[in-house]
Structure 1
Amino acid sequence: MVLLSQQTVNYNPSGSYSARVERVIDGDTFEIAAAPPAPGPPSVVAQQLLKVRLFGIDAPERNQPGGPQATKFLTQWMGKQNVTVYPMGTDMYGRLIARIVTDRSKDVSLELAFTGNAWWYTATAPGATDIRDAELVARGEKKALWSASAPIEPWRWRQGIR
């Protein structure tokens, strides 16, 4: 068995930056106070609140079974700590899509998948096999949402499939 939650990550730092988590919105979305990389001295770059969607996962919606637990897990896991942001793009809602690494060198998407609080989101991250493997471990150990007999994927829940 692979202990994915014990792995540390070393992403390419090009384009990465530090930020402080300000507010968790749900199990895969939160706001950060950040000063993204920009030309000029750091004192000139104003901080802003950015809404971030975690790369490669989809957590249950707040009104979905498992949603409150995923939100609680993310809130407890991240708190108001400093993180490293690895931007991957933006989504159709204007949210930053990013891999986030805590000050303990833990990938937040991996932790949510490994603990059974999120699905691997193949629609946006088909190559994220590390997240796939974390989900497989959680499924096998029936962690969190995988303890239910037939959990419904968030993307199906949003379509009204109950």
Structure 2
Amino acid sequence: MMWPWLSLASLLCSTSPIPVTSLQRNPVFSGIVVEVMDGDLIKVKTKDAGSHVVQLWGTDAPEADQPFGPAAKKYLKQMVLNKSVVVSSYGRTGWVSVSTEDTLTKPIVVNERMVSAGYAWWQRLPDNPELRIDASTLVKAEEAARKSKVGLWSRADAVAPWEWKKRGKSGG
């Protein structure tokens, strides 16, 4: 039986399932970001030459054809492309938090930075016991970004990606 979180497309290119049983944030692997696929999806190459497609936990960036979609991808690319990162997983969901590995400065929690800069919404997760994780940091980051009108919040007509998809405006 496949791990249920593999179907979430969070670690699509993993050469082997990485079972995570705790609901805490757990380091899973580290590697170099070799591709930024969109504003909340990256590809990380590990030292063993494996690669993992990683969905940023708790974030939902605008779609590519949506206002701020290309800007979100560009911002994420500037932050992580060709940089060393540590990927942590929450629960058995496969959703991950990515921190940059930088010994000179405090590590950046990429997920939080995307939301606080106004390039992603915090993702309203379904009422599922496996997903009951403290998202207060992301909630506060979004509230601050909205209040400061940064990034996508500079537009009064900002539409969440899940609403954009419902309206049939996204090709994906």
Q: TM-score range by the shorter chain?
A: 0.7 to 0.9
Indicate the SS of the match to 1:16.
strand
- Partner letter of residue 158 of structure 2? P
Aligned counterpart, 2:30: 18
1:118 equivalent to 2:130? Answer: no
Tell me the matched-pair count: 137
Structure 2: segments with no counterpart, 5+ residues: 1-23
- Partner letter of residue 136 of structure 1? E
1:101 equivalent to 2:113? Answer: no
Q: How far apart are the structure 2 equivalents of 1:60 and 1:130?
A: 20
Q: How far apart are the structure 1 equivalents of 2:92 and 2:39?
A: 18
Aligned counterpart, 1:79: 81
Indicate the SS of the match to 1:17.
strand
Conservation of the 8 A alpha-carbon contact between 1:57 and 1:119? yes
Change (3 A) 1:19 1:62: same
Conservation of the 8 A alpha-carbon contact between 2:26 and 2:89? no
Change (3 A) 1:136 1:161: farther
Conservation of the 8 A alpha-carbon contact between 1:30 and 1:52? yes
Identity of aligned residues (%): 31
Change (3 A) 1:136 1:48: same
Conservation of the 8 A alpha-carbon contact between 1:89 and 1:98? no
Change (3 A) 1:19 1:160: same
CA drift at 1:90: 7.0
Change (3 A) 1:14 1:69: closer
RMSD of aligned Cα (Å): 2.1
Q: How far apart are the structure 1 equivalents of 2:68 and 2:92?
A: 26
Aligned counterpart, 1:42: none
Q: How far apart are the structure 2 equivalents of 1:114 and 1:69?
A: 14
Change (3 A) 1:13 1:68: closer
Which shifted more, 119-128 or 70-79? 119-128
**TM-score when normalising by structure 1:** 0.77
Which shifted more, 79-88 or 14-23? 14-23
Query: In structure 2, which of residues 138, 147, 151 is the aligned counterpart of residue 131 of structure 1?
Result: 138
- Partner letter of residue 21 of structure 1? V
Conservation of the 8 A alpha-carbon contact between 1:20 and 1:82? yes
CA drift at 1:142: 0.1
> Which structure 2 residues correspond to residues 29-68 of structure 1 after superposition, within 5 A?
29-34=41-46, 46-68=48-70
Structure 1: segments with no counterpart, 5+ residues: 1-11, 36-45
